[in-house]
Structure 1
Amino acid sequence: MNSESGHSRAEGADRVLVVEDEPALAKVVANYLAREGFHVRIAHDGPTAVAAAHDFEPSLVVLDLMLPGFDGMEVCRRIRSFSDAYILMLSARGDESDKVAGLAAGADDYVVKPFGPRELVARVKALLRRPRASSLMSEPLPTPDGLDIDLIARTVRVDGAPVELTHTEFELLTALATRPDAALSRSDIITAVWGSSWFGDQHIVDVHIRALRRKLGDDAADPRFIRTVRGMGYALRSS
């Protein structure tokens, strides 16, 4: 069932869809977001969440992994088929395999329960104010043979075939491509993609790199595009 926060919408406020099957937690999160000026809607199950994303057109979705109807992974995949909203996934499971699965399904960030509502609000704000450095560039990027990045259309192709990337994956690939062959540390990548105000575990970069490599068909052991710089970070091969 959908519900909207009781706070009035601020002009130009970002829309946030909170998808959480625990009504009390959903209400707490929604109230914290509304107090910060966001326009908030709540959904408590998978089918309602997808319908709400169609109708509400949120800028960001706070998405619990365990939901009735169908789970957060399926909600994420379905929303990704028609929306480029940021998706912040919530889960009580903190294993890296779960994070990889969530990010591969299209999530942009991942928060493990239990969490403080203020921390969650800060993560939401950090995602929404992320710099879009790639949108300021007009020159073609020096990418490796077989990899094409169109900054204006925000598309990626490998050997001519389109590759569907999330917001975060596209920004991550672009951040690497703007400095071809340069070894970027996790900190460098976080600043370029998430912004200097981002906080959290820097190993989220590794999780996104793994998801990105899978979509590009890139083998970490014998990389065609993205190479690991041991003890440092990552680099994209130049053309």
Structure 2
Amino acid sequence: MPLPDSPTLVLIAEDEPQIARILAGYLERDGYRTASAFDGRQALAQHLALSPDLLLLDVQMPLCDGWEVLAQVRRRGDTPVIMLTARDQDADKLAALRVGADDYIVKPFNPAEVVARVAAVLRRSRGRPAAPVAGILRCGAVEIDQESYAASVVRHGAGTALNLTLTEFRLLAHLMRTPRRVCSRLELLEACLPEGNTLERTVDSHVSKLRKKLEEAGVANMPASLRGVGYRLESES
């Protein structure tokens, strides 16, 4: 929850007034300040005038859609942005993240979940290191590009693309940032599956699918499981 002496401002860019009012009500109940914009141009003007701490941005906005608003906001700075959309496809989620969104929520949604996701994104953004995490990460034959959300296995100069879901990519990237450190299920859950109330055991399922795709590409023993502890990324022996 925001500190009472410095209330966090959330700009809600949503062209459906009822949805905007509901979101504002839930956010204000948790101590946030809110402002609303009902089309893309208004959202950009409000963003410039108010410098919000976070932007909730609907994709289907009149006058200027959410993609263009996001692109312009990113040119201005690093305001955290959560996209709101009716499209529930990994390709759309990846597109949003490639353009620069911090999170992606599919309609219809539970407003209480939106508030929880706002808090999670704000925690992550305020805890970001000074150096950006974007760039190329490598571990053994595995290589990922954090800016383009692309993953591949590279051998003898040739790359084989990995067809990962958004969650699988997030897990792989998180593990690759500190490949020798063991990450607990809870850590992976909070960092890579911020979509709401999810069981820690769900991480096992996603890691299992990720491991299978890596094995099919010729990479064994990644990620490695430490029973009762968590996962660590290890190069194949």
* Range class of TM-score, shorter chain: 0.5 to 0.7
Matched, 1:66 2:79: no
**Letter of the aligned partner of 1:51 in structure 2?**
A
Give the distance between the partners of 1:77 and 1:58, measured in 2 at CA.
16
- Alignment match, 1:125: 119
Matched, 1:154 2:132: yes
SS in 1 for 2:104: strand
If asked which structure has higher relative contact order (CA below 8 Å, sep 6+), I would say 1
Normalized against structure 1, the TM-score is what?
0.61
Distance 1:122 1:72, change over 3 A: same
Q: Which runs of no fewer than 5 residues in structure 2 stay unpaired?
A: 137-144, 149-169, 207-216, 226-230
Q: Pick the aligned partner of 2:48 from 27, 32, 54.
A: 54
**Letter of the aligned partner of 2:12 in structure 1?**
V
Matched, 1:96 2:96: no
Q: Pick the aligned partner of 2:21 from 10, 22, 27.
A: 27
- Alignment match, 2:160: none
Normalized against structure 2, the TM-score is what?
0.62
Matched, 1:191 2:190: yes
SS in 2 for 1:129: helix
Give the distance between the partners of 1:48 and 1:124, measured in 2 at CA.
21
1:125-170, Cα deviation, whole Å (9 max, x unpaired):
22222386663xxxxxxxxxxxxxxxx3436566xxxx9959xxxx
Give the distance between the partners of 1:44 and 1:117, measured in 2 at CA.
18
- Alignment match, 2:141: none
Matched, 1:229 2:229: no
Give the distance between the partners of 1:186 and 1:164, measured in 2 at CA.
22
SS in 1 for 2:116: helix
**Letter of the aligned partner of 2:190 in structure 1?**
T
Q: CA deviation at 1:176?
A: 3.9
Equivalent pair of 2:135/2:147 in contact (CA under 8 Å):
no
1:161-207, Cα deviation, whole Å (9 max, x unpaired):
xx9959xxxx9898445523568687643435688x9645979xx9x
Give the distance between the partners of 1:112 and 1:35, measured in 2 at CA.
22
**Letter of the aligned partner of 1:68 in structure 2?**
P
Question: What is the root-mean-square deviation of aligned Cα atoms in Å?
Answer: 4.1
Give the distance between the partners of 1:40 and 1:110, measured in 2 at CA.
19
Give the distance between the partners of 2:232 and 2:181, measured in 1 at CA.
8
Equivalent pair of 2:180/2:232 in contact (CA under 8 Å):
no
Equivalent pair of 1:17/1:53 in contact (CA under 8 Å):
yes
Give the distance between the partners of 1:124 and 1:36, measured in 2 at CA.
11
How many residues matched? 187
Distance 1:116 1:79, change over 3 A: same
When structure 1 is superposed on structure 2, of 12-21 and 32-41 the one drifting more is 32-41
- Alignment match, 1:4: none
Structure with larger Rg? 2
Matched, 1:78 2:56: no
Give the distance between the partners of 2:103 and 2:30, measured in 1 at CA.
20
